[in-house]
Structure 1
Amino acid sequence: MSDDTSAEIRDTRKDWVVEHREMYLSSGGAEGHIMDVTAVGGRSFATHCLVKYVGRKSGKVFITPLCYADIGGEVVICASKGGADHHPAWYLNIREAKTVDFQIATQAFRATWREPEGEERDRIWAFMVACHPFYADYQKSTDRLIPLVMLKAVEPRPVFTPDEATGTRQF
């Protein structure tokens, strides 16, 4: 995928992502967990989480909504960036951290994270594509192997609030 195509996707989805994040945060998770994403090739009952992380360069706190699935007691998220040829900033930031916070609906957790490899990655990738079919199209549009991140909750924490985010997501 070219940088121009990536920019086009980013511009198309920017408003929706910002509105989704604000709805999720302002409702304390009561809204935004389940969303209809059929317009982008997804399901009408797609699950979304919020991921909170610290910018590796800025030191600012970011909160990003992402599709997720639960497999084997872990939450899996996909660093697809719509099939762009470079990784999303949230993924690069998480790679620099030992823990990450995530929220599903009205429950939030501190978590450890890992990236599955080999046969395990293949199995989890197939599961993610079954849950969110558009990931297959995203993978076809780039030469990079789209990373998967597994989150394992280690302790509960309060749900996220809008004022916790000191940075604005870059698209």
Structure 2
Amino acid sequence: MTNLILTVKGRRSGRWLRTGLFFGEDDGRYILVASGSAVTHTHPDWYLNVVANPGVGVQILAERFRARARTAEGPERDRLWRKMTALAPVYRTYEARSRRQIPVVILERV
């Protein structure tokens, strides 16, 4: 399974930070799930950094590009959540164990 490398600017440090993430695709956009893990009741750091600094770098295999990140909401989030749980059913387990709504992030090329 191919992961993408997300490069985000740290909201406190100002440093560029990289993390590998599972992703899906939707109409030319890339979709991420900010699950953290099954027992995490807070959003992962990469997601908090994306909210503070939505201009990100993305690498998929040898391709690198800039993107703008945003959190999906409402019916769009529901549709993308279903899509991502079909690709990775473990997200349903994470959702059941978490006290928060797990964000779905859309990356659009710039």
Give yes or no for the alignment of 1:67 onto 2:22. yes
Kindly indicate whether residue 93 of structure 2 is the aligned counterpart of residue 137 of structure 1. Answer: yes
Q: Which residue pairs with 1:51 in the alignment?
A: 6
Find 1:94's aligned residue among 50, 54, 61.
Answer: 50
More helix by share: 1
1:54 alignment partner AA? K
Greater fraction of residues in strand: 2
| Unmatched runs of 5 consecutive residues or more in structure 2 | none
- Superposition TM-score, scaled by structure 1 size: 0.62
Which has more radius of gyration?
1
Gaps (5+ residues) in structure 1?
A: 1-45, 155-171
Q: Give CA deviations for 1:55-112 in whole Å, capped at 9, x if unaligned.
A: 1111121110000000111100111001310010000011111411111111011001
List, as ranges, runs of 4+ consecutive aligned residues in structure 1 with deviation greater than 3 Å.
none
Residue 152 (str. 1) matches residue 104 (str. 2): no
Q: Match for 2:46: what amino acid?
A: W
TM-score, length-scaled by structure 2:
0.94
Alignment length (residue pairs): 109
Please provide the CA RMSD for this pair. Answer: 0.9
Larger RCO of the pair (alpha carbons < 8 Å, separation 6+): 2
